Amino acid sequence: MNMSGEPSALSRKVLIVEDHPIVSDSLFRLINETFDDTICIHAATGAKGLSYLNGNRFDIVLLDINLPDMTGIEFASQARSRFPGIRILVVTSMAQRHIIELAVKAGVMGFVLKTSDVKDITEGIRQVAEGNSYFGQGVKELMTGHSVSGTSEPLITRRESEILKLISEGHTNQEIAEKLFISSSTVDSHRKNLLIKFNAKNTAALIKTAISRGII
Amino acid sequence: MNMSGEPSALSRKVLIVEDHPIVSDSLFRLINETFDDTICIHAATGAKGLSYLNGNRFDIVLLDINLPDMTGIEFASQARSRFPGIRILVVTSMAQRHIIELAVKAGVMGFVLKTSDVKDITEGIRQVAEGNSYFGQGVKELMTGHSVSGTSEPLITRRESEILKLISEGHTNQEIAEKLFISSSTVDSHRKNLLIKFNAKNTAALIKTAISRGII
DNA sequence: CCCTCATTCCCCTTTTTCGGGGATATTTAA
DNA sequence: TTAAATATCCCCGAAAAAGGGGAATGAGGG
A163, A187 Cβ separation under 8 angstroms: yes
Q: What is the mean pLDDT of residues A45-54?
A: 95
* Alpha carbon separation from A134 to A17, B92, B199 (Å, rounded): 18, 28, 45
Put residue A181 in one of left, alpha, beta given phi > 0 → left and psi -120 to 50 → alpha: left
Of the candidates B60, B209, B45, the one whose C-alpha atom is nearest the C-alpha of residue B129 is B60
Cα A22 to the center of its chain, rounded Å: 21
Q: Which nucleotide C1' is nearest A187 CA?
A: C8
Q: Are B212 and A210 in contact (CB under 8 A)?
A: no
Task: Please state whether strand C lies within 7 Å of residue A190 at its CB atom.
Answer: yes
> Cβ separation of B23 and A27 shorter than 8 Å?
no
Q: How confident is the model at residue A105 (pLDDT cuts 50, 70, 90)?
A: confident
3-state secondary structure of A199: coil
Nearest nt by C1' to A171 Cα: D16
- pLDDT, one tens digit for every residue, chain B (216 residues): 333 344 444 568 999 999 999 999 999 999 999 888 899 999 999 999 999 999 889 999 999 999 999 889 889 989 998 998 899 999 999 887 778 877 888 889 999 999 999 999 999 999 999 999 999 988 887 776 543 333 334 468 889 989 999 999 999 999 999 999 999 999 999 999 999 989 999 999 999 999 887 777
What percent of chain A has pLDDT above 90?
67
Contact at 8 Å (CB) between B30 and B56? no
Asked if the model's pLDDT at residue A3 lies above 50, the reply is: no
CA distance A39 to A41: 7
Any strand C atom closer than 7 Å to A159 CB:
yes
A160 touches strand C (CB under 7 A): yes
- The CA distances from residue B181 to A55, B166, B173, B186, in Å, are 64, 14, 12, 10
Q: Residue B28 CA to C5 C1' — how many Å?
A: 58
Residues 146-165 of B with CB under 8 A from A: none
CA-to-C1' span, A182 to C7 (A)? 10
Helices (H), chain A: 21-34, 46-55, 72-82, 97-105, 118-129, 139-144, 158-168, 173-180, 184-197, 203-212
User: How confident is the prediction for chain A on average, in pLDDT?
Assistant: 87
Whether CB of A48 is under 7 Å from strand C: the answer is no
**Is the CB of A191 less than 7 A from some atom of nucleic acid strand D?**
yes
The closest CB to that of A203, out of B23, B121, B203, belongs to B203
Please name the residue of chain B whose CA is at the shortest distance from the CA of residue A93.
B20
CA distance A200 to chain B (A): 7
In angstroms, the CA B3 to CA A164 distance is 59
